[in-house]
Amino acid sequence: MLTGAENSGMLLIGCVVVLMGRSAFFSGTETALMAVNRYRLRHLVKRGNRGARKASKMLDRPDRLLGVILVGNNLVNFSAATLATVIGIHYFGDLGLLMAPWVMTLLFLIFSEVAPKTFAAENSELWSLKAVFVLDPLSKVLRPVVIMINWFRNTLVKPFMNKDSEEDHDQLSKEELI
């Protein structure tokens, strides 16, 4: 039978694993939505695919889409790092405080960044069309935060933007069209 301290330690570890799964979702979703074939997506929209409609609508505002993904990912990453630090201190004392960031960085790189992004890049349509059903309601909840962050970002970045690149962004060359 587990003691109260052992039980709480296992609960915290379980929470970190769940948060890492959420981080994998956000990381993979970012990659999938940025890699999805827009022409294929338009075709699926015309055929009435609900996921494609949601994805297409979200991709119309990439600033908001990325804002939701990044806010969500940062929330789960920092929460997991905080819990990992508590776990490290619980089991290893002061040494755990030093170990937690290193262990979490390694675990996050493998399980919450590289693996999900690799899978999402290879399966961007499948991932995108499913992930939007989670992102859509989340984007409604986080909308005020995302708008505020985008306003700050625009205020900071706008003086450094190249105005010519904005106009040419959606233009296709003859070779790209073919």
- In this prediction the pTM is 0.85
At 33 the three-state DSSP class reads helix
Taken in order 15, 68, 55, 176, is the CA torsion positive or negative? negative
Name the CA dihedral angle for 109, 112, 115, 117, rounded to a multiple of 10 degrees: -100
Which whole number is the average pLDDT over 40-63?
96
| Residues across the chain | 178
Q: Can you give the pLDDT at residue 105?
A: 96
- Measured distance CA(132)–CA(36) in Å, rounded: 12
Q: List the one residue out of 76, 79, 64, 81 whose CA is nearest residue 142.
A: 64
Mean predicted lDDT score pLDDT of the chain: 91
Using the predicted structure, report yes or no on whether residue 116 has a pLDDT greater than 90: yes
Give me the amino acid identity at 32: A
Give 25 or 159, the one with higher predicted confidence. 25
The percentage of the chain sitting over the pLDDT mark of 70, rounded to a whole number, equals 90
At 50 the three-state DSSP class reads helix
pLDDT digits (tens, 9 = 90+) for 82-91: 999 999 999 9
Q: Can you give the pLDDT at residue 101?
A: 94
pLDDT digits (tens, 9 = 90+) for 97-106: 999 999 999 9
Indicate the DSSP class of residue 160: G
Using the predicted structure, report yes or no on whether residue 68 has a pLDDT greater than 90: yes
* Token pair for 61: 């505002």
Q: What is the largest CA-CA distance in the chain?
A: 70
Q: List the one residue out of 35, 103, 108, 124 whose CA is nearest residue 76.
A: 108
Q: Can you give the pLDDT at residue 173?
A: 72
